[in-house]
Amino acid sequence: MIRKFGVALASLELFLGLSFLIASYLAVGALAGAKQAYSHPAFLSLSAFWVLNLAACTIRKRARLPGPVLVVHLAVMVIVAGGAVTWKAGKRGKLILESGTDPVRTVLDDEGVPKFDLPFAVRLDHFRVELDGEDLHRLTLSDPKEGKEWTLDVKPGGVHEVPGTPWTLVVGRFVPDLVVGDRGVETRSKEPRNPALQVAFLEDGKPRGGSWLFAFHPGMHQEDLPLEAVYEYRPAPVKQYVSRVAILDGTGSGRRTGELWVNRPLRHAGWTLYQSGYDPEDEKISILEAARDPGVPLVYGGFALLMAGLTAGFLRRRA
Amino acid sequence: MNGLEVNVPFAFFLASLAGWGVAHVSLRESWRRAALALLAAGWASQTVFLVLRWISAGRAPMANQYESLLVMCWAATALPFLLGGAFARERLTPWVAGLAALLLAAASLLDPTVRPLMPALRSNWLFYHVLAAMLGYGALSVGAAAALPAFRRGIDADRAAALDGLQYRAVSFGFLLLTAGILMGSVWAHEAWGSYWQWDPKETWSLITWLWYAAVLHLWRGRGWRGRRFAIVNLAGFAVMMFTYFGVNYLMKGLHAYAD
């Protein structure tokens, strides 16, 4: 009876059936956008059973299986073990820092609820957003009567001649999110939700009409303009965002400073700080991710074993 | 140049398909060789355009769906020459040329503009992770192409066995590269975001693809599946893989959205 159970547990058919079940579960979870399904006891049990099948197969057939296959099987088990360590012992959460304020040690979850305290405090000394180039303000002017068109890349505060015409274009203010308030034209936010550019035309030095051009509402408020205008706005892409932080121990004295940015985390006392995001409305605020994961060495070791086993198996078959 | 980098290879691949069609009707060896030469010329032209795009962008051309599709097509068209044997090259040529033409047709619908990298993509891992993944997808696509002749009637046993062998070699090579791509993506995710796995839709569907092909390889080695049975599960795996590559980008939101 036990022997029959052992044979069934180590069977390839069980592996195929469990793999299909897990793949189906994963697919439904992904299509439903339900990440929480992957920490449900049903999924964890199914995965544990899959690993048990893998272990049973590896042990029972170890004499028959080629070396690389054994390595691959072992690697998968090591990776899953690393994942289990991460799930049980890993810690991560968000640090929201504002330059010019007190150091922070409380890590928050995605809803902003405090999760735990770090063994040290982090102070944001400086935050900067580096842009790749400049904002693009492109005007396509046209004169339907003459059948002519001009494309100009302009800048707020600039003056531009329209080639081959008596027209001069004077560019005024740029407002990223135009709204008309009590004090006239204002911006609701720094985000380009309703970008608008103020323009005026001169003909031989004399004013001939002006208006606001709206990137998302072409054709609006153009009655006073001598030429038709289409305004295209493209903000300068963000190249990088960089935080300069000080890490303070329990006594409050500075232990170290450092800079971190996306893909360049900062490591301290077994913790790693990652540049996670920032607030576009307030560039004094930086959002970091703090993480500590004892499962990573196991997982990375499993990765190395997996690649070694697969590569050896592939080369062995070719030989 | 944007139009040329799709249209020139596309023309070569269509010409290769046409050459194979003439070879099939006329039974003349010279047309088969011409079809193969046109496929090689298409691959060479793709290589030139990818290098030019790399120089123009100042970075590897792998930052969005358009660029990754070009790389996948480039990888797929190289494989008939890498898998070895005149039989492999001649049997696969029409299918790979057709596949390459389809991939380029899909690329022509996407935005080809070269844009600067966003912060999350500014890492050397972009090159290694995307290259491995696209080479893997390319190889698995060739494996699927090699499965199609299995549904023809009247194919003799020797040719059937040779086609099966082609399928297996392409799929096992693709599986190795797909694994490398997934693992490198995982390491990169940990370096960038502090977590090697977050059940992002792209990650989850990559795992589904990996599990499927692991099962496919087990069916070959462990249960001796060949012929039409093996071709069916192989093609099903290809469908899963294509959903992972295309479907996830358009139907689900996730961390990979920036690469669309």
Query: pLDDT of B161-173, one tens digit each?
Result: 888 888 999 999 9
CA dist B21 → A299, B25, B76, B96 (Å): 50, 6, 20, 14
Q: Which of B119, B183, B192 sits opposite A306 (nearest CB)?
A: B183
pLDDT above 80 for B86: no
d(CA A44, CA B199): 14
Which alpha helices (DSSP H) does chain A contain, by range? Answer: 2-9, 12-32, 41-60, 67-89, 296-318
Give residue for tokens 């049980």: A88
In this complex, do A262 and B201 lie within 8 Å of one another by their Cβ atoms? no
d(CA B129, CA B68): 11
Minimum distance, in Å, between the CA of residue B66 and any CA atom of chain A: 19
- Contact present, B140 and B103 (Cβ < 8 Å): no
CA-based nearest residue to A241, from A272, A271, A285, A281:
A285
> Residue B260 — very low, low, confident or very high, per pLDDT cuts 50/70/90?
very low
**Other beta carbons less than 10 A from residue B5's beta carbon:** 22
Task: Tell me what pLDDT residue A63 has.
Answer: 87
Task: Tell me what pLDDT residue B253 has.
Answer: 67
Please provide the DSSP assignment of A173-229 as one string. EEETBEEEETTEEEES-SS-SB-EEEEEEEETTEEEEEEEEETTSTTTT-TT-SSEE
Task: Tell me what pLDDT residue A283 has.
Answer: 86
Name the token pair of B159.
Answer: 């040719």
> Residue B151 — very low, low, confident or very high, per pLDDT cuts 50/70/90?
confident
Task: Tell me what pLDDT residue B19 has.
Answer: 92
CA-based nearest residue to A207, from A168, A172, A152:
A168
Task: Tell me what pLDDT residue A86 has.
Answer: 95
B interface test, pick of A60, A109, A303, A315 with most B CB neighbours within 10 Å: A303
Q: Please tell me the least confidently modeled range out of A219-223, A246-250, B70-74, B103-107.
A: A219-223
Cα-only R_g, chain A = 31
Q: Which of A31, A261, A291 sits opposite B194 (nearest CB)?
A: A291
Predicted structure pTM score: 0.89
The arithmetic mean of pLDDT across residues B189-202, rounded, is 93
In this complex, do B176 and A132 lie within 8 Å of one another by their Cβ atoms? no
d(CA B108, CA B170): 27
pLDDT above 50 for B186: yes
CA-based nearest residue to B42, from B78, B2, B69, B68:
B78
Judging contacts by C-beta atoms under 8 Å, the chain B residues touching residue A314 are: 172-173, 176
Q: pLDDT below 70 — which residues of chain A?
A: 250-254, 318-319
Q: Which of B183, B194, B223 sits opposite A303 (nearest CB)?
A: B183
